[in-house]
Structure 1
């Protein structure tokens, strides 16, 4: 299950952040807003698309390469995330969202005897209907 504050969970379920989250433990390339790029393996992605990479190579606009064991990129600095060609984006999104669904409620909470009685009467009424 995705862990984070309410805003992070909203962004995860309502944007393509879930696709980036599904890329964890894969090697990817990120284009940054300052015309540089980073290649590396994603370790973590949070609800604001901040990405931590390991074994990363940062290439600046002049072509200089810098190697990092660990590198943190803020989400606001990311222009483009390159998705590997061998991944089906729709299937990946569905798998990621399905793996984070909550299961059915096992024991519903009954707050009072009045609610229990009303629920029981409602169920008897529904059962007596000819559908």
Structure 2
């Protein structure tokens, strides 16, 4: 599995930048901003939507096709990414958005401010309890 930076992980789980990552290993058609298209198999993609295709066919404005063994598309050139009809994209996106459980905060180191705030909170609760006990007697 690819290693993504923290920013890429955020983009993949919170935006549609996840589409090329989901479609890795599948044949796709990508329309580009300069009125051309590229068809091929997504070999790798990052969180910024930069895609590397293998066995690619570049289709220019005149409809002429040019074969490439390897083709790279920068994120800002992508206009439209055609999703195959047999792929349940909703399910795939939900799988990516599932996050691992958060770390246990009890084991985390506390800062001086946190410790002081907890001590003051305990003192306040004890004084309230003492005040209530005094009212009852």
Classify the TM-score, shorter chain. Answer: 0.7 to 0.9
Corresponding residue of 2:100:
102
On the 8 A contact 1:58/1:65 being kept in 2, the answer is yes
Q: Does 1:4 align with 2:9?
A: no
CA RMSD of aligned residues (A): 2.8
- The CA distance in 1 between the partners of 2:12 and 2:96, in whole Å, is 10
Q: Write the distance in 1 (CA, Å) between the matches of 2:19 and 2:59.
A: 24
CA distance, structure 2, for counterparts of residue 2 and residue 91 of structure 1: 22
Kindly name which structure, 1 or 2, has the bigger radius of gyration based on alpha carbons. Answer: 2
Residue correspondences, number: 118
Answering whether residue 32 of structure 2 is matched by residue 23 of structure 1, we say no
Q: Which has the higher contact order (CA 8 A, sep 6+)?
A: 1
Do structure 1's residue 57 and structure 2's residue 89 form an aligned pair?
no
The equivalent of 2:135 in structure 1 is none
The unaligned stretches of length 5 or more in structure 1 are 126-131
More helix by share: 2
Residue 70 of structure 1 aligns to a residue whose secondary structure is strand
**What TM-score comes out, normalization by structure 2 length?**
0.71
Q: Does 1:33 align with 2:64?
A: no
Gapped regions of structure 2 (runs ≥ 5): 126-137
Q: Structure 1 residues 86-95 or 101-110, which shifts more?
A: 101-110
